Structure 1
């Protein structure tokens, strides 16, 4: 999971901009979470050249409505070299500014994998039976009856007259439709 850094907006006065920390050390992508405590506001984000060499910001202009919380990801590129830079944040057309210093390290701080794995993935789970699914026994008897009716109709058709064969064939088709209706209903 990406690291998160909250930035409080409009907390003390209009266009106020307060990151929870002045610096961040990371080895992976992170999210700036803008928490608006007042009226609607636009926030402008800009990476300095050193940070822009190893990272991309998802949005440079962010609108955060009154009482809204909105996250913007700063994606660190794979196989990045170490870097030190900053994200500059501004509101009110530059009237209020704040800077978050970012140190990008090349090694994982926790030594773990790139993907966070929840411990519940190691637990064996048994799927619960679906109440609407059909068991083989529910379908076997009607299917066997349909096959027997078709075989009987074929035997009559080969042994008897054409009129009798048509009548038995029609009964077999009606029987098949009945079996299909039964299977769909259960």
Structure 2
């Protein structure tokens, strides 16, 4: 496959997976937050992250907030709250980073941001077949926000919404699981449907990621 086409495919997958990919933010926060039992109410899943700011990774802006990530050791981002907002931020960072990481970055992301299992193994095998050597330099997709469709202390489903240069909007369905002491992206063992789909507009209940 031609390198430029390979890169476009990888980039599209990444941004769509993250949904709104341009909302990259890194924020500091007190570790005390992670010691507080997460709120399981439906309302908690619609509360936006606080202290959001944007930080670029490979040409794509990612959201960093008080809920995470607390540690960024490029290319890996870790330290997310166990609460819903932390799970959503973890899903965004993992999907974007795994999709656009360069050849020497993706192994670390796989080890530290993806849940172990056959899904991760299959992704690593496929990723080794392509080459990405540079950051995105023109018209990257932007992360708009997310919708949490299921939240528990151990597993959370997050739909990520992103906008692309042609103003089209995509939704990327993701799942993160609590593994050890952090959220990790769980890739399906045998995906039956594409995780990324086109949508007309984001739903009215989307949690938007804007600095505040």
Bin the TM-score by the shorter chain. Answer: under 0.3
Structure with greater Cα Rg: 1
Instruction: Provide TM-score, normalisation by structure 2.
Output: 0.22
Instruction: Provide TM-score, normalisation by structure 1.
Output: 0.24
Q: Which has the higher contact order (CA 8 A, sep 6+)?
A: 2
